[in-house]
Amino acid sequence: MTTRRINLLPPERAERRRARQLTTSIAAAGVVLVILLALVFVAEIFRLNGQKHSLSTQQATNASLQSQVATLSQFQQLETQLQQKTTLLKNVTQDEVRWSVILADVSLVIPTDTWLTNLTATETVNTGTQAAPGAGAVNQPLGTIQLTGVTFSHLDVAKWLTRLAGVDAFTNTYLSISSKSVIGATNVVNFSSSVELSDQAFRRNQRGADRTP
């Protein structure tokens, strides 16, 4: 035997039931959505607080670094002053004649069988003058050195002059006197020579001549 169920309730009641079920489902979905939004909001609050903490930490670090920079700025000022002084000293001394180097060059080229009895050095203040129009430029030497001495032969005098001419800072090597003489029982030759200073005598043209304050 089969049983057949017959619904005697009016159809409006079933419609209301379905409407209530739909409303309940929508309300439950809304509650879930609100809970999810609340969770997202709380998470964002935590993240924002973390970012604020990181920002505060970074600001404190920046303030510390700025304080260190302010402390070290004096060293930057000292370095700038040193560079300015170095540049000024270089500009002032680049046209300086280094007489210590000149005398060292003389001592290096003098032969062992020759000795000097007098050395007179002069430096020209004006290193160059302009001649009258049409006559061309007349360059004065930076200075001159007069050297007198004694050796044993005229050949030794020639060797002395050759060595003087080989010094870069010297030019126009000139012999004024070369005469025989006697010292005790030894025949000697007295000589008087001179050289002019070239541009190589300037500090700026010499190797390792930079000066620092």
Region 166-185: mean pLDDT is 91
Residue 188 pLDDT level (bands cut at 50, 70, 90): very high
**Cβ partners under 8 Å of residue 115, min gap 6:** 149, 150, 151
pLDDT digits (tens, 9 = 90+) for 75-123: 777 777 777 666 655 555 556 777 888 888 899 999 999 999 999 998 8
Flag whether pLDDT at 37 surpasses 50.
yes
Mean pLDDT value across the chain = 79
For residue 85, the model assigns a pLDDT of 67
The one-letter amino acid code at 188 reads V
Question: Which pTM was predicted?
Answer: 0.50
For residue 189, the model assigns a pLDDT of 94
CATH superfamily of 99-205: General secretion pathway protein M, EpsM (3.30.1360.100)
For residue 29, the model assigns a pLDDT of 86
The one-letter amino acid code at 119 reads L
Can you read off the two tokens belonging to residue 192? Answer: 């008087």
Q: Taking the CB of residue 105, how many other CB atoms lie within 10 A of it?
A: 19
Pick the closest to residue 160 from 142, 141, 178 (CA basis): 178
Can you read off the two tokens belonging to residue 209? Answer: 């001549």
For residue 180, the model assigns a pLDDT of 92
pLDDT digits (tens, 9 = 90+) for 112-171: 999 999 999 988 865 444 444 444 444 677 889 999 999 999 999 999 999 999 998 899
Residue with tokens 């049983």: 3
Q: Is the dihedral of CA 8, 12, 15, 17 positive or negative?
A: negative
For residue 152, the model assigns a pLDDT of 94
For residue 174, the model assigns a pLDDT of 93
Flag whether pLDDT at 191 surpasses 80.
yes
Residues making up the chain, counted from first to last? 213
Q: Is the dihedral of CA 88, 91, 95, 98 positive or negative?
A: positive
**Cβ partners under 8 Å of residue 196, min gap 6:** 141, 142, 143, 144, 170, 171, 172
Q: Give the residue extent of every domain in the chain.
A: 13-93, 99-205
Q: Does 10 or 36 have the greater pLDDT score?
A: 36
Region 166-188: mean pLDDT is 91
